[in-house]
């Protein structure tokens, strides 16, 4: 049964050292508050799974929490490279990490297979692509009906998935709107899921019947974290802080500056600080 918990408790109860964890969000609805809580609690030896690792995985890698990263695009979207991830891959700093690299199509299909309870995903992909020769988890199968050779990748089944969403109702059902990315598949593929939301409303009675709603019984815990996806955004609540993404490129470029920034903005901060960070990004009503 879903529980409404303070974020600190939701993270402590659902994430453990050594877990395979997905903090998903395809540019939109990135669960930054949950990721920062995980950083404060100092988990180790994590396998970090995400299509677009982005700032929060750059931060976790830079803090030495990751043993392995599974991804399909390890960049700062629209800005360039992820400099802490680069330092780990190129120089083994602060520790060497294993990588398992896919394409977006490969990861999206693998999450979908996880949600569908299948052992693997089958799709038309990786043809001529170098990834197929460096990632042993990219294989092929032959269609028994047409003989076409198709790509196969194992299903993704995280121990725990964290996502951010617009709102929950009092029963714990969750609404996701806008660029929904891989949110639903990542929740349904996981053994347990934790959702941070902007707000809790009485009920979802007035919603359009085809909206993306995750029923309460698919979620382990919900935490209210207004502004919790900053510097990403929450459609209908606040805009993407593009300037912060540009600024991150400079912060992460330097090991000391990164540590100083993390100390001030993550270690010595709390989930409650996110609301103030998005105040200037809320649209005038």
Partner 1 sequence: MSDTIDRGFTANEMMTIAASRALKSDDVCFVGIGAPSAACNVARLTHAPDITLIYESGTIGTTPDVLPLSIGDGELCETAVTTVAVPEMFRYWLQGGRISIGFLGAAQLDKFGNINTTVIGDYAHPKTRLPGGGGAPEIATSSRQVYITMAQSKRGMVEKIDFFTSFGHGDGGDHRQRLGIDTAGPTLLITDLAIWKPDPVTKEFTVVSLHPGVAREQVQDSCGWVVKFAEALDETPAPTELELKTLRDLQARTKAAHQGTAKGKAA
Q: Which spans of this chain sit near partner 1 (rule: CB under 8 A)? A: 26-28, 51-52, 71-75, 77-82, 85-86, 89-90, 101, 103-105, 108-109, 111-112, 123-131, 134, 148-149, 178-182, 184-185, 212, 233, 235, 239-247, 276-277, 279-281
Nearer to partner 1, 202 or 208 (CB): 208
DSSP string, the chain: --EE--HHHHHHHH--TT-EEEE--SSSS--HHHHHHHHHHT--SEEEE-SS-HHHHHHHHHTT-EEEEEES--EETTTEE-HHHHHHHHH--SS--EEEE--HHHHHHHHHHHHTT-SEEEES--TT-THHHH-TT-EEEE-TTT--EEEEEEPP--SEEEEEEEEEETT--EEE-SS-TTHHHHHHHSSEEEEEEEEEES--TTS-TTSEEE-GGG-SEEEE-TTTTTTS-BTTTB---HHHHHHHHHHTTSHHHHHHHHIIIIIT--GGGHHHHTGGGSPP-
Please report how close the Cβ of residue 182 comes to partner 1 at its closest, in angstroms: 5
Nearer to partner 1, 149 or 270 (CB): 149
Nearer to partner 1, 245 or 258 (CB): 245
**Rounded CA separation 106/116 (Å):** 15
Please report how close the Cβ of residue 119 comes to partner 1 at its closest, in angstroms: 17
Place of tokens 């009920």: 203
Please report how close the Cβ of residue 247 comes to partner 1 at its closest, in angstroms: 8
Nearer to partner 1, 216 or 242 (CB): 242
Nearer to partner 1, 52 or 218 (CB): 52
Please report how close the Cβ of residue 6 comes to partner 1 at its closest, in angstroms: 23
Please report how close the Cβ of residue 197 comes to partner 1 at its closest, in angstroms: 18
Please report how close the Cβ of residue 150 comes to partner 1 at its closest, in angstroms: 10
Nearer to partner 1, 5 or 62 (CB): 62
């Amino acid at each position: 049964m879903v529980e409404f918990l303070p974020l600190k408790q939701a993270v402590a109860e659902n994430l453990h050292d050594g877990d395979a964890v997905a903090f998903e969000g395809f540019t939109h609805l990135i669960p930054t508050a949950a990721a920062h809580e995980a950083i404060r609690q100092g988990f180790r030896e994590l396998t970090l799974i995400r299509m677009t690792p982005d700032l929060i995985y750059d931060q976790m890698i830079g803090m030495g929490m990751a043993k392995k990263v599974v991804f399909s695009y390890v960049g700062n979207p629209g800005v360039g490279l992820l400099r802490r991830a680069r330092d780990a891959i190129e120089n083994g700093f602060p520790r060497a990490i294993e990588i398992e690299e896919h394409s977006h199509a490969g990861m999206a299909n693998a999450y979908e297979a996880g949600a569908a309870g299948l052992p693997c995903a089958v799709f038309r992909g990786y043809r001529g692509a170098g990834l197929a020769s460096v990632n042993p988890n990219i294989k092929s199968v032959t269609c028994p009906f047409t003989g076409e050779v198709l790509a196969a990748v194992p299903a993704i089944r995280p121990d725990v998935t964290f996502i951010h969403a617009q709102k929950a109702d009092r029963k714990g059902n969750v609404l996701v709107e806008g660029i929904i990315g891989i949110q639903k598949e990542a929740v349904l593929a996981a053994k347990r899921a934790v959702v941070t939301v902007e707000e809790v409303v009485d009920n979802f009675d007035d919603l359009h019947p085809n909206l993306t709603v995750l029923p309460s019984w698919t979620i382990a815990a919900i935490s209210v974290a207004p502004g919790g996806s900053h510097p990403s955004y929450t459609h209908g609540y606040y805009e993407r802080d593009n300037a912060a993404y540009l600024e991150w490129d400079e912060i992460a470029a330097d090991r000391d500056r990164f540590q100083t920034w993390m100390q001030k903005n993550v270690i010595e901060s709390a989930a409650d600080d996110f609301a103030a960070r998005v105040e200037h990004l809320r649209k005038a009503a």
